[in-house]
Amino acid sequence: MNGQIPTREKMTTIGDGGKRFWLYPAKFTGEWLNRRRVMAVVLILFFFILPWIDINGSQAVLLDIADRKFAFFGLVLWPQDFSILWFFAAGTAILVLFLTAQWGRLWCGWACPQTVFLEHVFRRIEIWIEGDARQRRKLDQAPISVSKFSKKALKYVIFIAISSHFANTVLCYFVGTDQVLHMTFQDPRENWGWFTFMAFFNFMFFVDFAWFREQFCLIACPYGRFQSVLLDSDSMIVGYDYNRGEPRGKLRKNQERTEGDCIDCNRCVAVCPTGIDIRQGLQMECINCTACMDACDEIMFKVNKPPKLIRYTAIADLEGRVRRFMRPRVIVYLVLVLALYGAGTYLMLFNRGLKFQIVRPPGQSFTLSEADAVVSNHFEVKATNRSEAIWTVTTEVPAGFEVVTPRNPWEIPAEETATLPIFVRKQKTLFNTSGKERAVVTFRDERTGAVLYQTEVTLMGPAQ
Ligand code: SF4
Ligand code: SF4
């Protein structure tokens, strides 16, 4: 890094004694903020509306851990589909590594619920009630008064209402919207477990958005902690162009500046929701929210300089090197993502529905009924129904053979594995002299007659 850039020694929000410095990020405008607002509105609507949408009779997204049912836009997965879930979850984890290596903390700035709700909902309400940074600071420092009390009370009542709606929506994703609606009109004592869950999350969301705020990104978020290993000099970051900006210096009246473009106005610091100075280089606290980009563009416009002194860039760009898009680790990530998603898709398409397995119980060969001279072989059929439909299946054997089973037709419940004993029989006199016969066992859908599974079994009998 450029030697002119000062290095950082401590977190901007933590004082010497560990005391937290409360941040008052300033209001700003700009094209990146407008884009992020559109994105935030879409995401917020998506989040609140999705639990009310049904696709193929299932909630669009449902993570019902208690009933072990997971629905994603019409695809319903059950515990027996764990392998599909695993492949998609592992693929998504690697996809996050790939996206971060390429585009940095795009997720944090544009799509993380913490940023979306804090910056586009809670902070806006706070600014609407208490004013811009200077007024908010003044209000906090002022002694209690009717005006201060009413502003704070109004703000917290709105925060609690939004947090409550947020918590109820989260519950809809885990329990199901119908169930949440049902519980809403019941006595809380009848669902005390879920009620406690909801009240706890309501409290946690309120504390997070009203007080904890940027500390969540700085201290609690595991994704933020991994940035130093996920980013490299070719990853996209929000960066300050120190080649153009330095040496910085104050703008003096009627004096033409001949040094760098940064006029040291600190506007980029004033708007930063994590309180950092982007001019100090890439920092773990930077959530790539683009606020400093907008703020600095506004200043550059006012001082007649080109915009983008702070911009989306990469360390390689700032150091004058060519930014590499494809690097070995990025290629490895991409290959892994494709392989894991491919395996998950394969299992989803070809390993669902009804699966049969037919085996001879250990230690059994055949039985011979002396009375009617029939050779009988015992098999166990195991059918796994990985669908939401109940299947009714008939079992058949070719002419010359007979199948005896307690259930024919046989009903296989949805999302269950069922077993059925079957006895395949043949007249002893018609039996092959080698003592072995082959028979094709067919399982058909009783309703349509379609063959669901067909396999050849070997019958043992007395050698003649
Ligand atoms: S440095 Fe800029 S992009 Fe990073 S968090 Fe602060 S304002 Fe957002
Ligand atoms: S907003 Fe721009 S000009 Fe002002 S201090 Fe930050 S980088 Fe320098």
The residue whose CA is least distant from atom 6 of ligand 2 is 268
Same domain, 243 and 309: yes
Same domain, 225 and 99: yes
Residue 300 inside a domain? The answer is yes
Dihedral angle at the C-alpha atoms of 266, 121, 158, 142, nearest 10 degrees?
0
Last residue of a domain, one of 202, 230, 258: 230
Domain that residue 400 falls in: 353-460
Residue 338 inside a domain? The answer is no
Same domain, 80 and 165: yes
pLDDT the model gives residue 387: 77
Same domain, 67 and 192: yes
Calpha distance 67→77 (Å, rounded): 11
- Please work out whether the CB of residue 296 comes within 6 Å of at least one atom of ligand 2: yes
pLDDT the model gives residue 3: 37
Place of tokens 């502003």: 151
Tell which one of 105, 269, 277, 292 to mutate to probe ligand 1, the residue whose CB is within 8 A of the most ligand atoms.
Answer: 292
Tell which one of 5, 288, 311 to mutate to probe ligand 1, the residue whose CB is within 8 A of the most ligand atoms.
Answer: 288
**Centre of ligand 1 from the C-alpha of residue 276, in Å:** 7
Tell which one of 266, 267, 272 to mutate to probe ligand 1, the residue whose CB is within 8 A of the most ligand atoms.
Answer: 272
Enumerate residues 6+ apart whose C-beta is below 8 A from 224.
Answer: 105, 108, 217, 218, 284, 287
Q: Which ligand is nearest to the CA of 292?
A: 1
**Centre of ligand 1 from the C-alpha of residue 311, in Å:** 10
Q: Among candidates 392, 398, 383, which has minimal Cα distance to 438?
A: 398
Q: What atom in ligand 2 is closest to the CA of residue 267?
A: 1
**Centre of ligand 2 from the C-alpha of residue 267, in Å:** 6
**Centre of ligand 1 from the C-alpha of residue 334, in Å:** 28
- Please work out whether the CB of residue 238 comes within 6 Å of at least one atom of ligand 1: yes
pLDDT the model gives residue 447: 87
- Structural domain total, the chain: 3
pLDDT the model gives residue 150: 97
The residue whose CA is least distant from atom 4 of ligand 1 is 286
pLDDT the model gives residue 4: 41
CATH number at residue 436: 2.60.40.3880
**Centre of ligand 1 from the C-alpha of residue 293, in Å:** 8
**Centre of ligand 1 from the C-alpha of residue 112, in Å:** 15
- Please work out whether the CB of residue 270 comes within 6 Å of at least one atom of ligand 1: no
Same domain, 52 and 137: yes
Distances (CA, A) of 28 to 33, 137, 435: 8, 17, 89
Same domain, 221 and 252: no
Q: What atom in ligand 2 is closest to the CA of residue 277?
A: 6
Residue 18 inside a domain? The answer is no
Enumerate residues 6+ apart whose C-beta is below 8 A from 49.
Answer: none
Q: Which ligand is nearest to the CA of 245?
A: 2
Q: What atom in ligand 1 is closest to the CA of residue 310?
A: 2
- Please work out whether the CB of residue 267 comes within 6 Å of at least one atom of ligand 2: yes
Tell which one of 266, 293, 298, 311 to mutate to probe ligand 2, the residue whose CB is within 8 A of the most ligand atoms.
Answer: 266
pLDDT the model gives residue 450: 87
Same domain, 226 and 241: no
Enumerate residues 6+ apart whose C-beta is below 8 A from 67.
Answer: none
Calpha distance 55→58 (Å, rounded): 5
The residue whose CA is least distant from atom 4 of ligand 2 is 265
Phi first, then psi, for residue 180 (nearest 5°) are -65, -45
Calpha distance 48→461 (Å, rounded): 66
Residue 330 inside a domain? The answer is no
Residue 308 inside a domain? The answer is yes
pLDDT in tens, the chain (464 residues): 333 444 455 677 887 777 888 999 999 999 999 999 999 999 999 999 999 999 878 899 999 888 778 888 988 787 767 888 899 999 999 999 999 999 999 999 999 999 999 999 999 999 999 999 999 999 999 999 999 999 999 999 999 999 999 999 999 999 999 999 999 888 888 888 888 988 999 999 999 999 999 999 988 998 888 877 889 999 999 999 999 999 999 888 777 777 899 999 999 999 999 999 999 998 889 999 999 999 999 999 999 999 999 999 999 999 999 999 899 999 999 999 999 999 999 988 877 778 899 999 988 789 998 887 899 999 999 998 877 788 999 999 999 999 999 999 999 998 788 999 999 999 988 888 888 999 999 999 998 888 999 999 999 988 77
Judge contact between 403 and 396, C-beta under 8 A. yes
Query: 126 by DSSP, 3-state: which?
Result: helix
Residue 335 inside a domain? The answer is no
Same domain, 39 and 156: yes
Last residue of a domain, one of 198, 230, 262: 230
**Amino acid identity, position 325:** F
pLDDT the model gives residue 9: 57
Judge contact between 376 and 359, C-beta under 8 A. no
Q: Which residues pair with 417 in a beta bridge?
A: 384
Residue 21 inside a domain? The answer is no
- Please work out whether the CB of residue 276 comes within 6 Å of at least one atom of ligand 2: no
Same domain, 262 and 167: no
Last residue of a domain, one of 318, 341, 362: 318
- Please work out whether the CB of residue 311 comes within 6 Å of at least one atom of ligand 2: no
Residues in the chain: 464
Same domain, 116 and 64: yes
Residue 347 inside a domain? The answer is no
Same domain, 151 and 248: no
Same domain, 224 and 248: no
